[in-house]
Amino acid sequence: MPLRTAAPVPRRETRQRALVYETVASTRTHPTAEWVYERVRRSMPRVSLGTVYRNLQILVTEGRLRTWTRGRMTRFDADLSLHDHFVCERCGLLVDLERSEESFTSERKLAARGHKVHDRVLEFVGLCRDCRRGGKTGGNASCPH
């Protein structure tokens, strides 16, 4: 008799998880867990940082959020569409860029060699407009880091 596996049990949607998701989805700044925690506490003062971290990880596991990690910093994104990024190396501003459907020369070369590309990660790194003008030396108020 074949072994049957049970369907995954959906997690109960808690008020905390719903608020954590809404907080990430309401911004395009790719927030850190700490930024989400500070915002969630405005509506739910007794929530713990651990609860926010746990719910962020659940939302990532469920496929409702994505993570973006650079160095030791992890940021969260509710935009699940395929897109690329620009990151400012000075202030940390992270900007979504619409992904072109055009394939790159390197993708075509890989295909010619028999490889199959399933996804790509394209990240432009440089200085944002404000940092180029010398207006910033550290954190960016619009950037949650």
Q: What is the pLDDT of residue 143?
A: 46
For 142, residues 6+ apart whose C-beta sits below 8 A from its C-beta are: 29, 93
pLDDT digits (tens, 9 = 90+) for 49-85: 999 999 999 999 999 999 999 888 899 999 998 898 9
pLDDT tens by residue, 108-129: 888 899 999 887 788 899 999 9
What is the spatial distance between Cα 23 and Cα 109, in angstroms, rounded to a whole number? 41
Choosing among 1.10.540.10, 3.30.450.30, 2.40.50.140, 1.10.10.10, the CATH entry for 9-78 is 1.10.10.10
Indicate where the chain has its CATH 3.30.1490.190 domain(s).
81-136
Average pLDDT, the chain: 86
Query: Which CATH fold would you assign to the domain 81-136?
Result: Dna Ligase; domain 1 (3.30.1490)
- The pLDDT of residue 141 is 43
Residues for the chain: how many in total? 145
